[in-house]
Amino acid sequence: MGQTASITQNKLVFSRVAAIAAAVFCVPESSLGPRSSPDNIESWDSLHHLSLVLALEQEFNVQFSPEEIEQLLSMELTTALLEEKLKGCGVPDAG
Amino acid sequence: MLQTKELRAKIERLLEESSWAEAHACLGGLWRREGMAAAANYVVSCYDRLRPHLHLTKCRVALLRSMTLEPLVPMLRGAALVSGIDPLIQIGQFNAYVQEMLDSGSALYAFNPDIVIVAVQTRDIVPEIWEAYADLSESEVRAIVDRVRKTVSGLLRTFRDQSNASVIIHNFEKPLASDGVMGAQGRNGQLATIDRLNAELGELCSQYRGLYILDYDSLVGHHGRARWHDEGKWLTMRMPFATDSLSSLVAEWLKFIHPLTGVTCKVLAIDLDNTLWDGVLGEVGLKGIQVGSEYPGAFYRALQRAILDLYRRGILLAVCSKNNSDEALAALQNHPGMLLRPEHFAAMRINWQDKAQNLHEIASELNIGTDAIAFLDDNPVERERVRLEMPEVKVIDLPRRPQGFVCALRECPFFERLALSAEDRQHTRLYGEQRQRAELANKLGTLEDFFTSLDQEVVIAPVTPETLTRVAQLTQKTNQYNVTTRRYTEQQIEDFASRPGWNVYSVQVKDRFGDNGIVGVMVTRTEHQICEIDTFLLSCRVLGRTVETAMLGFLAETSKAEGALFLRGRFIPTRRNEPARELYSSHSFRAIDGEDGETIWSLNLGEANISCPEWIRLHGTDRVHHAEQARV
């Protein structure tokens, strides 16, 4: 039961992250998977990385430390870190 | 309220259906809900499809900076696009603003911007004052202030010599005082020193045309100094702002871009019940509505004060309310707590009609386009209705509680002005006189009788430093009687006036009801014995009174005296300038050429003559003779 809820939440967070990343990197949402990273998304350079961070901070109402920002190096890692940060405070409603 | 996903789906559908105006309105709605980094690229990409079908005002904006601003670029574009401005943005090299301004071969000058934003920080320009103030002696502080004045002055002068672009420069921001509470004491504290730097900057900017201060320190203060910054991002990525600050900074830039591009409102149309006062007049009566110095009436009185401030700025006010007219007028006239009175309003529509219909009537009564109207109403249903019916009207969103009304109005960028001319200050009084003129026209028989009875006096003179602001402003604001609709800044007008062969004239009109002030502008360029009319415009205040004939008569006479053989004019049609279409044909000009809807007109000065109507007294001064030619 608890596990199912967590997987559902995982999917929800991932899809929200993907929607934002798609908008920031100007790529179709469907082209983004867990393994998407600066290595395979051409527009994911350092300035777009900053834009992604800002967009995620606004969307999820969280703040990343400089160390965390350096860790957000794939969609998977980004989603995982966000989940960690959101744990306990509940996931805010989408949009 | 639609969810974001549904709203986006709706926008996609509207784009598919080619419902451009509605898609534009919907994007505005999306932006108001989530005007943030994630939505910005989406909004901007939608405009790539919308652009050819909408009337958007283009401008070129250069961002010079000492910090990372890239993430703000799509936000600025998105915010500008939804309010009708299509900016092309160039961002300068990181921390290279000095070289870019000094080097006439830099990318900045090649870009040929209309607007330059200089986004710099105290800690970049005077790091010693920002972080090591305690190390400095009094004389060292003085020397630093002196050095900054010289550097900035040199930068601004060099730039102004080479470009006419308007410049918006961030002023010096204060840190959390490093000398503690002592920092605010006396004249030598850190904070007082930064105040002095800002005073110097203000002084420098006032010496040149088109240099404007963005009060960055107040912006940060208003937002909350502690909340504004994110030191982690500053140290790692050289972006000093917290995420929440981004949209505030973008909004502040737009407050300058709106007046600089002329995308502004001239009229504020206001609802009455629960907007200007608390309560519904028809239900609770004059004694039941609340406006005054006590809770909750004080919130409404504060809004009236903010509206009165706009009135002093030259914004026309109109009432647009569903009410019984007599009752509402009596409340405006007699309620003791009211700051706004009937004489402050240039037009009133108090009835049970649809508000969109009333706004159309207000626009035609005041002789303005409906896109120059902003609409203020506490009722979200009325706002939505006006948005759908008239997407060109700027609808101001009021929060549910009246505490937030004043802020919502003051943050609206459509009322921003960068300078006030004497005409602005008297605006509403002039409209009051206009009403009397209209009444006189109804009384008199023939048009000639009316013209004669007006007792008009037209004064045409080369532009002077005193009239420059007004002349530039007219080129930016006049839409209807404007044959070329070329928008010029004060710097450009000043530049034209100094070129050989060019003339810039202001046209002032007086009549028996008062002085209308400067209401017309002409810009001409004479070359090879052809006097070309670059700009010819008249404010809607004096249309239909043959002032244009007096102006053309003046041009014919002076250009002939300067040796021109032909007077040549051009008509460039826009959505709004139909009233000026017949200017040249009705004054014996012949159409000689044209393409893309534009027409070129010529008058042979050897054959034809344009005389000033006998009911106008013309006083003209041309630049060459400086002699006044009075004709009575």
Inspect the interface and report whether the beta carbons of B243 and A20 lie closer than 8 Å.
no
For domain B56-261, give the fold.
Answer: Rossmann fold (3.40.50)
- Looking at the DSSP assignment, which residues form a beta bridge with residue B532? B525, B568
For domain B438-631, give the fold.
Answer: Aminopeptidase (3.40.630)
Q: For B37, which of A19, A58, A63 is closest by C-beta distance?
A: A58
Write the CB contacts of A88 (distance below 8 Å, at least 6 apart in sequence): none
Do B230 and B186 form a contact (C-beta atoms < 8 A)?
Answer: no
Using a CB-CB distance cutoff of 8 angstroms, which residues of chain A are in contact with residue B244? 58
How close does chain A come to B125, measured CA to CA in Å?
24
- Give the best residue of A15, A48, A54, A67 to mutate against chain B (max B CB count within 10 A): A54
For residue A68, the chain B residue with the least C-alpha distance is B232
* Alpha-helix residue ranges (DSSP H) falling in B581-630: none
CA B123: distance to chain centroid? 32
Using a CB-CB distance cutoff of 8 angstroms, which residues of chain A are in contact with residue B42? 23
How close does chain A come to B218, measured CA to CA in Å?
24
**pLDDT over 90, % of chain A:** 53
For residue A95, the chain B residue with the least C-alpha distance is B4
Inspect the interface and report whether the beta carbons of B243 and A66 lie closer than 8 Å.
no
Measure the CA–CA gap between B425 and A3, rounded to whole angstroms: 68
For residue A56, the chain B residue with the least C-alpha distance is B38
Residue-level pLDDT at B33? 85
Measure the CA–CA gap between B435 and B342, rounded to whole angstroms: 14
Pairing between β-strand B481-482 and β-strand B530-538 as defined by DSSP bridges: antiparallel
Inspect the interface and report whether the beta carbons of A24 and B237 lie closer than 8 Å.
no
Mean confidence (pLDDT) of chain A: 84
Are the folds of B56-261 and B438-631 the same?
A: no
For residue A18, the chain B residue with the least C-alpha distance is B38
Residue-level pLDDT at B292? 93
For residue A53, the chain B residue with the least C-alpha distance is B243
**B363 or A93, which is more confident:** B363
Unique residue bearing structure tokens 């527009």: A43
B401 secondary structure, DSSP code? S
pLDDT tens for B290-344 read 999 999 999 999 999 999 999 999 999 999 999 999 999 999 999 999 999 998 9
| Domain range list for chain B | 1-50, 56-261, 267-415, 438-631
Measure the CA–CA gap between B116 and B94, rounded to whole angstroms: 15
pLDDT-based confidence at residue A88 (cuts at 50, 70, 90): low
Residue-level pLDDT at A5? 55
Q: How many interface pairs between A and B have CB atoms less than 8 angstroms apart?
A: 58
Residue-level pLDDT at A93? 47
- Domains annotated for chain A, with CATH where assigned, are 2-86 (1.10.1200.10)
Measure the CA–CA gap between B617 and B38, rounded to whole angstroms: 61
Inspect the interface and report whether the beta carbons of B36 and A69 lie closer than 8 Å.
no
Inspect the interface and report whether the beta carbons of B230 and A63 lie closer than 8 Å.
yes
Using a CB-CB distance cutoff of 8 angstroms, which residues of chain A are in contact with residue B3? 94-95
How close does chain B come to A27, measured CA to CA in Å?
11
What ipTM describes this predicted complex?
0.77
Using a CB-CB distance cutoff of 8 angstroms, which residues of chain B are in contact with residue A24? 37-38, 41
How close does chain B come to A4, measured CA to CA in Å?
25
pLDDT-based confidence at residue A8 (cuts at 50, 70, 90): low
Ranges of residues in chain B whose predicted pLDDT is under 70: 1-2, 423, 425-430, 432-436, 438-446, 623-632
Inspect the interface and report whether the beta carbons of A95 and B4 lie closer than 8 Å.
yes
Q: For B71, which of A19, A50, A63 is closest by C-beta distance?
A: A50
Inspect the interface and report whether the beta carbons of A66 and B232 lie closer than 8 Å.
yes
* Alpha-helix residue ranges (DSSP H) falling in B373-504: 380-389, 405-410, 422-425, 427-443, 447-454, 468-477, 490-498
CATH superfamily, domain at B267-415: HAD superfamily/HAD-like (3.40.50.1000)
For residue A50, the chain B residue with the least C-alpha distance is B71
